[in-house]
Structure 1
Amino acid sequence: MKEMVVDFRRAQSDHSPLDINGSNVEIIKSTKFLGVHLVEDLTWSPNTNSITKKAQQHLYFLRRLRKAHRPPPILTTFYRGTIESILSSCITAWFGNCTVLDCKTLQRIVRTAEKIVRVSLPSITNIYSTCCIRKANSILDYPTLSHTYSSPFCHLERGTEAFGPSQPDC
């Protein structure tokens, strides 16, 4: 068994080993979970490097399709189905904390694909925004939560609530 410790304290200290049923649990510094590379200090460069490597491998096939004189709609469909799918995998979890260098690396993949396809493609930031909006809408559309958060409210006094935009002093 393995565990990863994420410690946000300023004074880092050694963690006592975890023991389950008489066997020690190994402490690891990084792992891959659901296709996302996690590091104990929550930097996302290893994840970005992995995504970049996968996307570059698929750019080869996009170039081959271009050399085969496929029309731009076919190339765009291939890009959206493979490369953009790789770039947007769990993007709502990690992209917001990427470094500028990581963002530029990912945007370079999109720009390269644009040159191959010869069609304007959404930037990596636009892909992230679209995925965040889609995720927020899916949360709001969830049947058991939609009635809870669908209307804004504010507290007027202890135990009473006012609903709707008719209360401007909230």
Structure 2
Amino acid sequence: IDQCNNDDLKLNITKAKEMCIDFRTHNTIITPIIIKGQPIEPVTTYKYLGITIQSNLKWTSHIITQCKKASARLYHLRKLRQFHVDRHLQELFFIATIDSLLLFGMTVWGGRCIARDRNNISRVQRIAGKIMNTTVQPWGVSHRQRTIMRAKKIIREPLHPLHYTFQRLHS
């Protein structure tokens, strides 16, 4: 609050949300944050830049949402096949509209999703592969490639905040 006042910024308390991340096994009563006499609304899930964050730091709600959206877009892929559109164009459509949606933010959540979530993503990808009569790259392979690309980008940029966490090996 003091930083906002120092920088002549106004804090909109009606839009502020509070998310408590607590891994303790016993329930504890957490007192709400009060700013300028108004309590801040506590939330268990919060959508930020298109990624749904849960207070237990699990990604189930994000993946369920993305799979529902992707499943709805399979209709358009079916129509492309029904109209005998070239398979290459079907694959481009899949990559641009379905796979990109399914794998959005994967470098953040990819290593922490549970088996049920992985199966949901794989199911949508399998259905799309059957529609296009081709095999789709499994999401795990995409996760590995994207994570390596992100790490290489951080290593190349010395001003990146995480640059110091990477050390080059002699090999």
TM-score in terms of structure 1 length: 0.83
Q: CA deviation at 1:67?
A: 0.7
Contact 2:106–2:143 under 8 Å retained in 1: yes
The within-5 A match list for 1:7-156 is 7-144=22-159, 149=166, 151-152=168-169
Larger strand share, 1 or 2: 1
Identify unmatched segments of 5+ residues in structure 1.
Answer: 153-163, 166-170
The answer to whether the 8 Å contact 2:157/2:163 transfers is no
Shift of 1:102: 1.0
Bigger mean CA offset, 141-150 vs 120-129: 141-150
Q: Which runs of 5+ in 2 are unaligned?
A: 1-15
Residue 32 of structure 1 aligns to a residue whose secondary structure is: strand
Compare CA radii of gyration and give the structure with the larger one: 1
Distance in 1 separating the partners of 2:144 and 2:111: 10
Cα deviations by residue, 1:86-145 (Å, 9 ceiling, x for unpaired): 011001111211111111111011111111111221001112112111111111121435
1:137-160 deviations in whole A, cap 9, x for unaligned? Answer: 1111214359965644xxxxxxxx
In the alignment, the residues of structure 1 paired with residue 168 and residue 53 of structure 2 have an alpha-carbon distance, to the nearest angstrom, of: 36
Change (3 A) 1:150 1:102: closer
Q: Secondary structure at the match of 2:41?
A: strand
Aligned-partner SS, 2:30: coil
CA distances 1:50-91 after superposition (whole Å, capped 9, x unpaired): 011110111111111111101111011111111110011001
Paired-residue identity, %: 29
What is the count of residue pairs matched by the alignment?
Answer: 154
Tell me the distance in 1 between the aligned counterparts of 2:68 and 2:43. Answer: 23
Aligned residues of 2:154 and 2:163 also touching (Cα < 8 A): no
**SS at 2:58 equivalent:** coil
Q: Structure 1 stretch 17-26 or stretch 4-13: which is displaced more?
A: 4-13
Inter-partner Cα distance in structure 2 for 1:11 and 1:80: 44
**2:5 is matched with which residue?**
none
1:129/1:147 Cα in 2 relative to 1: closer, same or farther (>3 Å)?
closer
- Partner residue, 1:156: none
